Structure 1
Amino acid sequence: MINLKQEAAKAALQLLKPDQLIGLGVGSTIAYFIELIASSISFKSSLKFISPSFETKMWLKENGLVCIDGSTQATLDYYFDSCDQLDMHLNAFKSGGGVHTGEKIMANMANQFILLADGPKMVEKLTTKYPLCVEIIPEAWLSVRKELRSSYSTMISEIVLRKSEQKAGPLLSERGNFLADIYFSKLPDIHELNKQIKHITGVVEHSLFYQLCSVCLLATADGVIHLTANRAEK
């Protein structure tokens, strides 16, 4: 059986050129990409990488690739990442990793933000299959939860604060904030959702990537399809 995640990663290799500065997200597809770069790119020593993910930084170092401090950079040639789900306009949910704040920073730094995805993740419209993950300043947790429940009273089924598996208490983001998963019974209009969640005091960022991705390399059983964002919607 074809490993579609590996096929998407292989297609991304064709975009790399010497001396580029590359941003990377997190996930198994990105792990494949790193391994392929390390094993098959002749000019890999000229490439520099940054990532918001501790896990990805470790993968880079373990594969002998140059990982630098992202705070010293203003622009990237490419930002590559995977996702949980994406729609026909390349809007995406990136909820699993919980590092979406840093990922969005890099997406905005990049000349091109490229999603590496396997076919089953593509849907016509985003669904409620995955939660919206929200990074929240700890002191604002209860007030943010109250406002969310008030604003989306007929659409939210539950709001769950992520808990640490290794110690008692909440799981903290890379920035020391809480992460909460919002499970919708009905997904609000994503254009409005993108704006409204950000306007709640105490919310740092959320995991809906709305109109950020420019290109998707979508791996299917028939090959890799290069998709360009269509911004015809709101």
Structure 2
Amino acid sequence: MTDAEALKRQAAARALEYVRSGMKLGLGTGSTAKHFVELLAERVQQGLEVVGVPTSEVTRAQAESLGVPVATLEEHPVLDLCIDGADEVGPDLTLVKGGGGALLREKIVASAAQQMIVIADGSKMVAQLGAFPLPIEVVDFGVAATRRAIDRAAKAAGCHGLLTLRRRPDGHVFVTDQGHVILDAAYGVIPDPAALALNLSQVPGVVEHGLFINLASRVILAGANGVTVLDRA
């Protein structure tokens, strides 16, 4: 296991300390969340009783293969905890998410949870969001027109950068679990995440964006000097 993966696993292990038997859990998507599901499965095998609501088909398959009971938000519309990773964490615990392409389901699940705990290695903590391209999930009808509208909305919020249609390694267009496509916005700096989030939400064709504002209750960061827990004020 690389040092980075070891740090992700440390953060995941700390998050597991907040899980209690009987809880309904949102299970995130991505490399860090994968560690959490693995560690959760070990506890389930030891007798922990939980139900997980996965944020992607990948996470659902992983959880089922490891014996973690899974359900849907239709069955459990209110969750105790959501545990997920992040691509960037700002000082006020605003997040950039969606590098794995599951931002829509991730935001729905996080919003249904009484608390969202974010797990990450220390490199994900930044002074200002934007270095990681912001994923924007859009419908595949009229993408060129939607792209132009996103550009205008972003510029009004002080953001400038190239929008790239996400593709898979084989060159085919990336399609989300909900059948949408993703535009990755390389803004470099997002001076006002709240303003950008509001503007993007008003663009026809935009399904969801990767700015998670006022959703993370707690962030667990693992670094060379140990694990740090940050709580939202």
* TM-score over 0.5 (shorter chain): yes
1:60-71 mapped onto 2 (5 Å cutoff)? 60-71=63-74
Amino acid at match of 2:73: G
Partner SS state of residue 80, structure 2: strand
Structure 1 pair 111/150, CA: closer, same or farther in 2 (3 Å)?
closer
Amino acid at match of 1:229: R
Amino acid at match of 1:163: R
Does the CA-based 8 Å contact 1:95-1:131 persist in structure 2?
no
Partner SS state of residue 200, structure 1: coil
Amino acid at match of 2:117: I
Q: 1:156 aligns with which of 153, 160, 168?
A: 160
The residue that corresponds to 2:123 in the other structure is 120
Gaps in structure 2 of 5+ consecutive residues: none
CA distance in 2 between partners of 1:109 and 1:189 (Å):
25
Gaps in structure 1 of 5+ consecutive residues: none
CA distance in 2 between partners of 1:148 and 1:131 (Å):
14
The residue that corresponds to 2:47 in the other structure is 43
The residue that corresponds to 2:12 in the other structure is 9
CA distance in 2 between partners of 1:89 and 1:186 (Å):
16
Amino acid at match of 2:137: E
CA distance in 2 between partners of 1:66 and 1:173 (Å):
24
Structure 1 pair 115/185, CA: closer, same or farther in 2 (3 Å)?
closer
Once the two structures are TM-superposed, the CA of residue 81 in structure 1 deviates from its matched residue by: 0.3
Does the CA-based 8 Å contact 1:9-1:116 persist in structure 2?
yes
Amino acid at match of 2:146: V
The residue that corresponds to 2:146 in the other structure is 144
Amino acid at match of 2:113: A
The residue that corresponds to 1:102 in the other structure is 105
The residue that corresponds to 1:135 in the other structure is 137
Structure 1 pair 167/86, CA: closer, same or farther in 2 (3 Å)?
closer
CA distance in 1 between partners of 2:76 and 2:202 (Å):
27
Does the CA-based 8 Å contact 1:26-1:56 persist in structure 2?
yes
Partner SS state of residue 182, structure 1: strand
Does the CA-based 8 Å contact 2:153-2:203 persist in structure 1?
no
Q: 1:194 aligns with which of 193, 197, 200?
A: 197
Partner SS state of residue 163, structure 2: strand
The residue that corresponds to 2:79 in the other structure is 76
Once the two structures are TM-superposed, the CA of residue 185 in structure 1 deviates from its matched residue by: 4.4
Q: Output the TM-score relative to the length of structure 2.
A: 0.90
Partner SS state of residue 161, structure 2: strand
CA distance in 2 between partners of 1:183 and 1:206 (Å):
13
Partner SS state of residue 159, structure 1: strand
Q: Output the TM-score relative to the length of structure 1.
A: 0.90
The alignment yields a C-alpha RMSD, in angstroms, of 1.9
Does the CA-based 8 Å contact 2:118-2:218 persist in structure 1?
yes
Aligned residue pair count: 227
